[in-house]
Amino acid sequence: MKVIGVIPGKKESAHIIDVDKPEISSSEVRVKVLRVGICGTDHEIDQGLYGEAPEGEDFLILGHESLGIVEETGRDVKGFEKGDMVVSTVRRPCPENCLNCRSGENDMCLTGNFKERGIKSLHGFMAEYYKEIPEYLVKIPEELSDVGVLLEPLSIVEKAIMQTFKIQERMKWKPKTALVLGAGPIGLLATFVLRDMGINTYTLALDSIDSKKARLVMESGASYIDSTKEPIPELGEKLGNIDFILEATGSSTVSFQAMDILGINGVLALTGITGGDKKLEVDADRLNLSLVLGNKLIFGSVNANITYFRKGVKHMQNFEVKWPGLLSKLISRKVVFEDFKEALLRKKDDIKVIIEIGK
Amino acid sequence: MKVIGVIPGKKESAHIIDVDKPEISSSEVRVKVLRVGICGTDHEIDQGLYGEAPEGEDFLILGHESLGIVEETGRDVKGFEKGDMVVSTVRRPCPENCLNCRSGENDMCLTGNFKERGIKSLHGFMAEYYKEIPEYLVKIPEELSDVGVLLEPLSIVEKAIMQTFKIQERMKWKPKTALVLGAGPIGLLATFVLRDMGINTYTLALDSIDSKKARLVMESGASYIDSTKEPIPELGEKLGNIDFILEATGSSTVSFQAMDILGINGVLALTGITGGDKKLEVDADRLNLSLVLGNKLIFGSVNANITYFRKGVKHMQNFEVKWPGLLSKLISRKVVFEDFKEALLRKKDDIKVIIEIGK
């Protein structure tokens, strides 16, 4: 079968490789891949900045955002059968099987020695087929066939938001106002989740108010803010007490600006991967004082375990009822398998680019 | 009766004033004050940097850390009687009676219009008597008569630590290593609470290893770190994964250093009041990335509601059993009422200074 592999550390090394179709054991499932989404991490791996091949191999099959169909199940597999539509989670436990990994919270792995399909020491899903054990597969209802490939990025959002609500059980908390920083896939999906929860949501990005991203934001009932016209430092006053901020621009400048406008008892969830070495001058005394006197909280959130994938499926179903077709508009470009290099290019107006692999 | 009042905004204005002994209504309790502790906020108020007189008055009775004895109860008062030893909480609800204030979590007041006895718009406890309603009074067992005056600072610690454990219910969390930054009253009390919980605790301050503070730390079974010999940035490597850091030095430089050494899934609780305008250059990209990839969390904690005072009483009882007499060593200087100006001076080797008011 054909797969898209990279040589980790080598720039723009992605190429099609022929490998054997995976054989499954009695406890495994073979999945035929329908499509795969591209995210920032894939770009970084393609640029040679990130990524690790499985032990003993010299290439890594790319791809961690997938949608597929069960083609065959081992005889001991329960709960899945041929024809089921599925998404696979990404992270796998560390060899030490730390406290968090052994309780299914491998997104909270304590050792850092976890593996991740398509990213770190395990092959990904840019392949005609992959195999997996059932505990890492999530069933996708038929009606979500067009958008199920968005479940992995949605799981990132679900984790950040579910963690926030869990954290805030430390007090009475009824968030009224949320601010989402960034309108890429993570920012838009966060906007939809917050709107589905009935929270007054503002989503900010660099695009103009008549851009496609702005329209998608507004279709969900959120307000769009063009940050070139209304800079972040001014929003504290404009929006009142900001109960929740989700940072999804990937800029640490934005993260620090967000800390400054966070409201009393507020939570700032950071999700952006800032791989650079930017330094900033920070009003340290003032920021520290405001965090303390306002009982404010900042946390970082990465990856997602299967709980968040399952929660994402429910939200997707809600989205389709409330805003039919809105979710599918995040898929801004579809590329056939052979043209995968096109998919790895960043183009203007891209939101989510997917590679069509099977049918 | 005699009280110690300040003219808010005026430097070193503390003076003894004669006022009427408070009359109580049927629902109130009159408390005879035994002693009052001095903290950084009192110093700031005495320096004219902070503090607000009650509406319509030109002075503020100082003092928010108290221990007293019930002298008289209104006829409708239940649960308290003459002779009971009590500590009063400090904060009172905002006039808007916000979501948090009306549920008894006035430490989480959303409007910022709360009042605080001895600090903001309500008289404090540097007085021969005060009156209060029972819902803000905490009973102190007889055996804690020497140390009960430390309950208010302990309540600050209880809040920061209980909030941390509540927050961490977001995952499986078994903290092994805690770092306390600062060995003033908050730092020492935090050390004792963490040790009472069986957590491997390191407490850091500027004093040498043979100082009194270092001895108090070590008597509770914690390790003492002289930060002039082992700077904070080196501790990340030395201590392994730091699960919890409590910042109690009041330096925002220390807060930012702490963010850098916090372990995976770790929590940094900030309690220091940093009233200056210090600016710092921060490795913004690296810090943001480390928070995200490590699922790390930072929060500020201020004040404490009665739940935390009650928890503090239990911890004090544990301390007395585990380390008899240790807690009382925090009281480094006792001053009689008339010499209150002595109490407001900061002296070398001060930990907690108290003013003896009644008997």
Residue A217 sits in the same domain as residue A344: no
Instruction: Decide the pairing of beta strands A223-226 and A200-205.
Output: parallel
Residue of chain A whose Cα is closest to the Cα of B101? A172
Q: Provide the chain B residues 161-220 that lie in CB contact (below 8 A) with chain A.
A: 163, 166-167, 169-172, 174
Is there a domain that residue B268 lies in? Answer: yes
CATH number of domain containing B22: 3.90.180.10
Beta-carbon separation of A290 and B277 below 8 A = no
Selection from B176, B171, B184, B242 nearest residue B217 by Cα: B184
Residue A47 sits in the same domain as residue A14: yes
Selection from A149, A118, A89 nearest residue A331 by Cα: A149
Is there a domain that residue B316 lies in? Answer: no
pLDDT for A356: 98
pLDDT for B199: 98
Amino acid at B108: M
Amino acid at A353: V
R_g (Cα) of chain A, nearest Å: 20
Give per-residue pLDDT as tens, A32-44: 999 999 999 999 9
Beta-carbon separation of B289 and A273 below 8 A = yes
Contact A89, A306 (CB under 8 A): yes
Is there a domain that residue A308 lies in? Answer: no
Residue B55 sits in the same domain as residue B184: no
CA distances to A160, A167, B57, B161, B301 from A170, in Å: 16, 6, 37, 11, 12
Amino acid at A178: A
Which residue among B109, B273, B288 places its CB closest to the CB of A289? B273
DSSP H or E stretch at residue A335: strand A331-336
Adjacency order of strands within the sheet including A2-6: A15-18, A2-6, A60-61
Residue of chain B whose Cα is closest to the Cα of A304? B295
Binned at pLDDT 50, 70 and 90, residue A207 comes out as very high
> Structure tokens of B114?
């709360």
pLDDT for A137: 98
> Does any CB of chain A come closer than 8 Å to the CB of residue B99?
yes
Residue B284 sits in the same domain as residue B344: no
Residue A135 sits in the same domain as residue A167: no
> Does any CB of chain A come closer than 8 Å to the CB of residue B266?
no
Is there a domain that residue B112 lies in? Answer: yes
Selection from B342, B359, B340 nearest residue B350 by Cα: B342
Phi, psi of A197 (to 5 degrees): -85, 0
Give per-residue pLDDT as tens, A247-298: 999 999 999 999 999 999 999 999 999 989 999 999 999 999 999 999 999 9
> Structure tokens of A335?
């590329």
CATH number of domain containing B173: 3.40.50.720
Nearby residues of B47 by Cβ (< 8 Å), 6 or more positions away: B11, B12
pLDDT for B54: 98
- Hunting for tokens 């407490």 — which residue is that? B203
Residue A170 sits in the same domain as residue A53: no
Residue A133 sits in the same domain as residue A160: no
Contact A268, A298 (CB under 8 A): yes
Within 8 A of B91 by CB-CB distance, chain A residues are: none
> Min CA distance, A171 vs chain B (Å)?
7
Could you give the number of structural domains in chain B?
A: 2
CA distances to A319, B174, B188, B281, B353 from A350, in Å: 21, 43, 54, 35, 64
Amino acid at B146: D
What is the rounded CA–CA span in Å between residue A66 and residue A39? 11
Within 8 A of B269 by CB-CB distance, chain A residues are: none
Is there a domain that residue A319 lies in? Answer: no
Residue A8 sits in the same domain as residue A130: yes
What is the rounded CA–CA span in Å between residue A95 and residue A107? 14
Residue A89 sits in the same domain as residue A177: no
Is there a domain that residue B314 lies in? Answer: no
Within 8 A of A283 by CB-CB distance, chain B residues are: 277, 279
> Structure tokens of A24?
């499954």
Binned at pLDDT 50, 70 and 90, residue A209 comes out as very high
Is there a domain that residue A318 lies in? Answer: no
Instruction: Decide the pairing of beta strands B177-181 and B137-139.
Output: unpaired
Selection from A199, A135, A183 nearest residue A332 by Cα: A183
Amino acid at B151: L
> Does any CB of chain A come closer than 8 Å to the CB of residue B285?
yes
Instruction: Decide the pairing of beta strands A244-247 and A177-181.
Output: parallel
Contact B3, B127 (CB under 8 A): yes
Count the neighbouring beta carbons within 10 Å of the beta carbon of residue A293: 15
Beta-carbon separation of B270 and A287 below 8 A = no
CA distances to A192, A200, A319, B356 from A312, in Å: 11, 20, 10, 61
Could you tell me the residue range of the domain that residue A243 belongs to? 155-300
Residue B110 sits in the same domain as residue B223: no
Which residue among A103, A241, A292 places its CB closest to the CB of B172? A103
Instruction: Decide the pairing of beta strands A297-300 and B297-300.
Output: antiparallel
Residue B172 sits in the same domain as residue B133: no
Within 8 A of A163 by CB-CB distance, chain B residues are: 170
Beta-carbon separation of B264 and A110 below 8 A = yes
Residue of chain B whose Cα is closest to the Cα of A286? B277
Contact B247, B271 (CB under 8 A): yes
- Domain-terminating residue out of B280, B300, B320: B300
Which residue among B105, B253, B299 places its CB closest to the CB of A296? B299
Give the HSE-up count for residue A126: Cα atoms under 13 Å, Cβ half-sphere.
Answer: 31
Binned at pLDDT 50, 70 and 90, residue A127 comes out as very high
Binned at pLDDT 50, 70 and 90, residue A111 comes out as very high
Residue A180 sits in the same domain as residue A54: no
Going residue by residue through chain B, which has 359 residues, state the pLDDT in tens, using 9 for 90 and above. Answer: 999 999 999 999 999 999 999 999 999 999 999 999 999 999 999 999 999 999 999 999 999 999 999 999 999 999 999 999 999 999 999 999 999 999 999 999 999 999 999 999 999 999 999 999 999 999 999 999 999 999 999 999 999 999 999 999 999 999 999 999 999 999 999 999 999 999 999 999 999 999 999 999 999 999 999 999 999 999 999 999 999 999 999 999 999 999 999 999 999 999 999 989 999 999 999 999 999 999 999 999 999 999 999 999 999 999 999 999 999 999 999 999 999 999 999 998 899 999 999 99
Is there a domain that residue B335 lies in? Answer: yes
